[in-house]
Amino acid sequence: MTPLKTPAKASKTPAKSAIKSSKTATGISLAKSVGQALARHRSQTGLTQAKVAGQLGIETETVSRMETGAIAATLSRLEQLAAIYDCPVVSFFQENTEDVEGMARTLAELLKPLPEDERKLLVNFMVEAIKLFRSKRSKRRA
């Protein structure tokens, strides 16, 4: 006697497969996005992959693979990298976009650890720079 296949089990398999492939695709794009942020932060701090690898006690190839998204950095590794790059871990998950709100969040995160007097000085500098850019733009239009 051969066992009968139940339709319920057969119909769940494609759904599970679709969920798994969706998670995989999302995971890959997240790893690449985080990797790009890691590379950007490393570059901004003027460090080489070799120097970062040395500080972490890992191979340079591993740093490279994290930056390309070939492998995903663990949360503990991201904490170590944030300490090296002197930035919050969350900055690795923020996209480098042209939207003003994203830029404002990035600036806010950069300003947070500074003393109040330095924050005020930098904000005043930005205000004056914006005024200068606006006046140059209005002169070009005239």
DSSP state at residue 109: H
Q: Flag whether the pTM goes above 0.85.
A: no
Residue 61 has pLDDT above 80, yes or no: yes
Give CA–CA dist 105/1, Å, rounded. 66
Tens digit of each residue's pLDDT (9 = 90 or more) over 67-93: 999 999 999 999 999 999 999 898 898
| Domain boundaries 21-96, CATH class | mainly alpha
Coil vs helix vs strand at 6: coil
* 96: confidence class by pLDDT, cuts 50, 70, 90: low
**pLDDT for 108-128, tens place per residue?**
888 888 999 999 999 999 999
> Which band of pLDDT confidence, cut at 50, 70 and 90, is reported for residue 27?
low
**Could you tell me the end-to-end alpha-carbon distance of the chain, in angstroms, rounded to an integer?**
91
Query: Average per-residue pLDDT in the chain?
Result: 81
Could you tell me the residue ranges of all domains in the chain?
Answer: 21-96
